[in-house]
């Protein structure tokens, strides 16, 4: 991602606050800011070469999609994802994506099949070339495409509000798939069910899609918290070389 550093951007784009919100979201998802980090308007304005007013408007976009939390008299912070957050995001994903899969299978036509298969093939290429960040983005794009095929406008609007948090969820879950092909294999049955119009199978597959990931993420967060509580651990003693 290219971020302008040396020239003012105030007059370069009619929706600059949206552009800055996207750049900031990408930086958060890339780990430049960690969960719980404070986002200082002055620092962000300097980083992106825009006014604090533009940054403030961009932060409101990220507050609306749940990636940034505003705390009165303290400022804006990247959301600190708890086990409860993970479970809630997982439940919402399963609920919305399973409904979308059922409706998409009922509404599927040649144009829908072409669009969904195209995203899946992009996923396959990203997996084969080792582009994990791109694969995660395409994973979300796959489910977004399913919901678009469903034709339900309100479902699309609700899912759009969840997308940033869903992408954060997917980034966290990515660590549990050492082989990118595992992610591809998970999507094949769902793709096939939707494309052949099998609504109930598509619903069932999508409903279970993120359950195991949520359990793994919650467990890893618990393990991390326990390790922090215990304090740093010394590495195991290595045998002396002779």
Tokens standing for 125?
């290429």
Residue 213 CB partners (closer than 8 Å, separation 6+): 90, 169, 173, 176
Q: Return d(Cα 19, Cα 4) in angstroms, integer.
A: 11
Query: Where does the chain hold its CATH 1.10.10.10 domain(s)?
Result: 16-78
pTM for the structure as a whole: 0.74
Q: Return d(Cα 119, Cα 141) in angstroms, integer.
A: 7
Partnered with residue 78 across adjacent β-strands are 68
**What average pLDDT score do residues 75-95 get?**
89
> What pLDDT sits at residue 13?
54
Confidence of residue 225 (pLDDT cuts 50, 70, 90): low
Q: Report pLDDT digits (tens) over 51-62.
A: 999 999 999 999
Strand 75-78 relative to strand 68-71: parallel, antiparallel, unpaired?
antiparallel
Confidence of residue 165 (pLDDT cuts 50, 70, 90): confident
Average pLDDT for the chain: 85
Greatest alpha-carbon span in the chain: 70
Instruction: Name the class of domain 83-221.
Output: mainly alpha
Give which of 95, 85, 92, 107 is closest to 195, Cα–Cα.
107
Fold (CATH) for 16-78: Arc Repressor Mutant, subunit A (1.10.10)
Query: Where does the chain hold its CATH 1.20.120.530 domain(s)?
Result: 83-221
């Amino acid at each position: 991602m290219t971020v302008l550093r040396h020239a003012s951007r105030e007059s370069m784009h009619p929706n600059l606050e949206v552009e800055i919100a996207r750049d900031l979201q990408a930086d958060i998802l890339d780990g430049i800011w960690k969960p719980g980090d404070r986002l200082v308007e002055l620092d962000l304005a300097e980083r992106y070469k825009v006014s604090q007013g533009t940054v403030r408007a961009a932060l409101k976009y990220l507050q609306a999609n749940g990636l940034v939390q505003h705390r009165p008299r303290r400022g804006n912070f990247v959301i600190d994802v708890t086990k409860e957050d993970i479970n809630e995001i997982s439940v919402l994903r399963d609920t919305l994506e399973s409904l979308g899969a059922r409706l998409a299978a009922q509404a599927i036509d040649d144009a829908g099949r072409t669009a969904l298969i195209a995203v899946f093939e992009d996923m396959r290429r990203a997996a084969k070339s080792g582009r994990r960040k791109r694969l995660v983005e395409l994973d979300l794009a796959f489910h977004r495409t399913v919901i678009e095929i469903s034709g339900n406008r309100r479902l699309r609007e609700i899912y759009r509000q969840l997308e940033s948090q869903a992408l954060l969820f997917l980034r966290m879950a990515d660590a549990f798939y050492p082989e990118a092909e595992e992610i591809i294999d998970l999507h094949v049955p769902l793709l096939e069910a939707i494309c052949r119009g099998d609504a109930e199978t598509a619903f069932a597959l999508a409903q279970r899609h993120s359950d195991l990931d949520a359990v793994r993420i919650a467990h890893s967060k618990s393990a991390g918290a326990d390790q922090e509580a215990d304090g740093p651990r010394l590495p195991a003693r290595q045998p002396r070389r002779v």
